[in-house]
């Protein structure tokens, strides 16, 4: 039994790890290209500039439009921070993106109807904006650690041809992946352990209709 569960967990780990790596590097590469072709000032203006409240609302709105999971949200977040987007706006995007993306909202509508979906969207959107502003007000912007950065394509010392931009974007993707790879693999490992060793009966019992916390 143990070895069978271990095999199931290992197989799941390999599948999810490969998917995460491909998705993470691909999204990071696209973020690098965006920063190569779109000036930082344009990105900052698009997300509210110096207006924190407006920027947070726009950041949460942008997060709600991106059909990405958390591992894909991180490269986009880094690109926003590198571009000088206000911290509150970036945090609102971070919280809204994996919770309000079009895939999740579509599933909510199908499974729970319009009313529940609208309530979920409103509470989550307001929460993302509020948390972004709160973290900014508490000075958490000083806690951002330095990671791989993409130099602006506006720097006249950088080559501006397509090949050079692609090379810099690829280098950015690989560099960021190397820094975050341990965390991605740990997350995949936790998911694989749950998939292989936690009986579905336990999950069904905790989330089933017999659970008093479950409204269904």
> Model confidence over 6-20: pLDDT tens digits?
888 899 899 888 888
CA torsion sign for 105, 106, 111, 113 is positive
> Model confidence over 50-73: pLDDT tens digits?
688 888 999 999 888 877 666 678
CA separation for the pair 42, 66 (Å, rounded): 19
pLDDT at 147: 63
More confident residue, 132 or 66: 132
Greatest alpha-carbon pair distance for the chain in Å reads 65
What pTM, to 2 d.p., does this model score? 0.71
């Amino acid at each position: 039994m143990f070895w069978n569960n271990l095999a199931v967990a290992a197989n799941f780990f390999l599948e999810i790890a490969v998917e995460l790596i491909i998705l993470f590097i691909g999204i990071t590469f696209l973020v690098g290209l965006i920063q190569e072709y779109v000036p930082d000032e344009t990105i900052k203006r698009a997300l509210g500039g110096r207006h924190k409240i407006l920027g947070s609302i726009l950041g949460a709105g942008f997060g709600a439009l991106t059909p990405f999971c958390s591992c894909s949200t991180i490269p986009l977040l880094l690109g926003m921070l590198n571009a000088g987007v206000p911290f509150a706006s970036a945090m609102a995007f971070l919280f809204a993106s994996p919770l309000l993306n079009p895939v999740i909202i579509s599933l909510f509508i199908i499974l729970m109807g319009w009313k529940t979906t609208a309530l979920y969207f409103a509470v989550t959107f307001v929460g993302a904006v509020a948390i972004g502003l709160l973290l900014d007000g508490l000075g958490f912007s000083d806690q951002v650690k330095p990671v791989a950065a993409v130099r602006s394509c506006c720097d006249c010392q950088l080559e501006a041809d397509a090949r050079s931009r692609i090379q810099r974007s690829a280098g950015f993707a690989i560099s960021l992946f190397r820094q975050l790879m341990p965390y991605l693999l740990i997350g995949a490992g936790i998911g694989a352990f749950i998939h292989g060793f936690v009986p579905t009966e336990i999950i069904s019992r905790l989330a089933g209709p017999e659970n008093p916390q479950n409204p269904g």
